Structure 1
Amino acid sequence: MPHQSLEYDVDKVRSCDSMDNQDHERTYAIFLSLVKWAVLIGFFLIISMAVGFMIAKSFLAGLLTFITLIILSKTVA
């Protein structure tokens, strides 16, 4: 089989090179938002578990702490 040269259409490459930047920015904003909330929820969960274990191993205290932190973060952010 003869060796085929790797030729490509320059117009296709240029059209792919100039992909829609709005899509990239929107995707990046969504990614950052998801990462931010994942970190916050993890942090809030650790704090809630600590509060729940410190106050006579109260599940309710931990749950209320978690819910309060989530509500506060939504009003601040």
Structure 2
Amino acid sequence: MDDHHSGPVETGAPMNYEEHESTYDLFIAGTKWGTMILVVLLIAMAAGFFTTAGFLGATILFIILNIAGFLLLR
């Protein structure tokens, strides 16, 4: 009824560490750039809605902050 195994049932395929590292690096880069873009978008939206900057001012602020963010985070 009860099977006793002396070792692991399935060991699986060997890890491809190069692929794992490249996937992790891609995930970290996407998280970093995505977070920067979302923060800049929120700042630009706050400037557009709560100040007299309006849509054009918020768009210009969005572009300027994205350029500054890309230069600082690379």
TM-score interval w.r.t. the shorter chain?
A: 0.7 to 0.9
Decide whether the 8 Å contact of 1:55 with 1:61 is kept in 2: no
Gaps of 5+ in 1: 1-12
Aligned residues with identical type, % of pairs: 33
State the shift of 1:67 in Å. 0.5
Match of 2:17 among 21, 35, 43: 21
CA distance in 1, matches of 2:66, 2:20: 29
Letter of the 1:52 counterpart: G
Structure 1 stretches of at least 4 aligned residues deviating more than 2 Å after TM superposition: 54-57
Match of 2:32 among 17, 29, 36: 36
1:45 aligned partner = 41
State the shift of 1:56 in Å. 2.3
2:72 aligned partner = 76
State the shift of 1:53 in Å. 1.7
**Paired residues, what number?**
66
1:56 aligned partner = 52
Q: Which has the higher contact order (CA 8 A, sep 6+)?
A: 2
Decide whether the 8 Å contact of 1:48 with 1:66 is kept in 2: yes
